[in-house]
């Protein structure tokens, strides 16, 4: 794909500083960009590469003042990182122009498939499924009975979506993820045997949600496990039955959230954090990596450690904790002097 500087400026909402006819065919890092490539300067520590890069076009902050001659054509924007993200999305969308159904795909006649949709090889679409227009289903995807998927969504290969699950518009589900599997619930009978709790609810994923590879979202016992608008979930995340994730919350890799916990809007959950069941986490809560949350958290809390405590308190405590061996030696010496 070939774009001129004017084309790029139009896509990202920028202003051309240099040759408007300069063209690019690919994207590159600024430190090793070559001719006919486009790069961006989103971090001041890479400023030096602005003058040495061979990239033909570079996206920069609108008020950047060059200290030396710049050979590349510049596209000046309010935020280079956001502008480059728009360009990445543009390039990605150009790749996904294929429509239609692969011959090896199994599509039940009682399903409804929107216009300009693609379904890849060996995928299975069960009865009662409703898929919106311009949605792309990769290879070897399983979509169970009565699943609803909105328009312009993308389901990568080897995803399994169990029956009755609902996905909104503009969702992205990466390879290996399972949506709607059984929740983990058992009751002991009089003989101590584990009796399985049947989970007859579903998973409801709203619009503009992205879920990374090999994550699992369990269906509710009754009602729905809910992932609200704009949530972003990394790889290898476990979300248990009846959990609710608030709008625009971001969850990093290897997080586990136990059943029936409710997370508020705009929360940030660090990698490998664990959140207990039946808890209420407020809005804008920050949970640091490897934190264990065992009680409710008020809105705007920032916590760390296991069990979780206030982030600043944890940092203060850690100063003493890492010096604990020295402190114990000093105490031992004092006890010897006191002959205790």
Q: Which residues are catalytic?
A: 241
Query: Do residues 171 and 153 make contact, with C-beta atoms less than 8 angstroms apart?
Result: yes
Token pair, residue 164, equals: 């009755």
**Virtual CA dihedral for 63, 65, 66, 70, nearest 10 degrees?**
30
> Please, is 275 exposed, middle or buried when counting C-beta atoms within 10 Å of its C-beta (0-12, 13-18, 19+)?
buried
- 3-state secondary structure at position 136: strand
Q: How far apart are CA 175 and CA 167, in angstroms?
A: 16
Distance CA(307)–CA(293), nearest Å, equals 6
Buried b (16+ CB within 10 A) or exposed e, 4-23: bbbbbbebbebebbbeeebb
């Amino acid at each position: 794909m070939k774009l001129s500087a004017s084309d790029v400026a139009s896509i990202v909402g920028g202003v051309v500083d240099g040759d408007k006819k300069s063209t690019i065919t690919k994207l590159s890092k600024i430190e090793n960009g070559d001719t006919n490539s486009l790069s961006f300067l989103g971090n001041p520590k890479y400023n030096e590469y602005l003058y040495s890069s061979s990239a033909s076009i570079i996206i920069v902050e609108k008020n950047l003042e060059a200290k030396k001659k710049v050979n590349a054509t510049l596209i000046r924007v309010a935020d280079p990182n956001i502008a480059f993200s728009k360009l990445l999305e543009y390039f990605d969308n150009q790749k996904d122009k294929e429509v239609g159904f692969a011959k090896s795909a199994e599509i039940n006649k009682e399903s409804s498939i929107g216009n300009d949709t693609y379904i890849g090889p060996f995928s299975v679409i069960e009865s009662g499924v409703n898929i919106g227009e311009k949605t792309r289903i990769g290879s070897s995807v399983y979509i169970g009975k009565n699943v609803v998927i909105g328009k312009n969504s993308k389901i990568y290969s080897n995803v399994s979506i169990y029956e009755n699950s609902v996905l909104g518009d503009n969702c992205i589900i990466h390879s290996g993820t399972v949506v709607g599997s059984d929740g983990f619930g058992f009751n002991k009978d009089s003989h101590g045997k584990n009796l399985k709790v049947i989970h007859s609810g579903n998973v409801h994923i709203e619009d503009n949600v992205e879920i990374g590879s090999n994550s699992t979202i369990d269906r509710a016992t009754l009602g729905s496990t809910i992932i609200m608008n704009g949530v972003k979930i990394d790889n290898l995340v476990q979300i248990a039955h009846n959990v609710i994730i608030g709008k625009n919350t971001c969850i990093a890799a290897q997080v586990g959230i136990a059943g029936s916990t409710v997370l508020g809007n705009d929360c940030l959950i660090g990698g490998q954090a664990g959140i207990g069941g039946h808890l209420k986490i407020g809005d804008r809560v920050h949970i640091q990596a490897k934190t264990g949350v065992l009680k409710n958290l008020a809105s705007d809390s920032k916590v760390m450690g296991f069990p979780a405590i206030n982030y600043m308190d944890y940092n203060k405590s850690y100063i003493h904790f890492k010096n604990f061996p020295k402190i114990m030696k000093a105490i031992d010496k004092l006890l010897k002097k006191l002959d205790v």
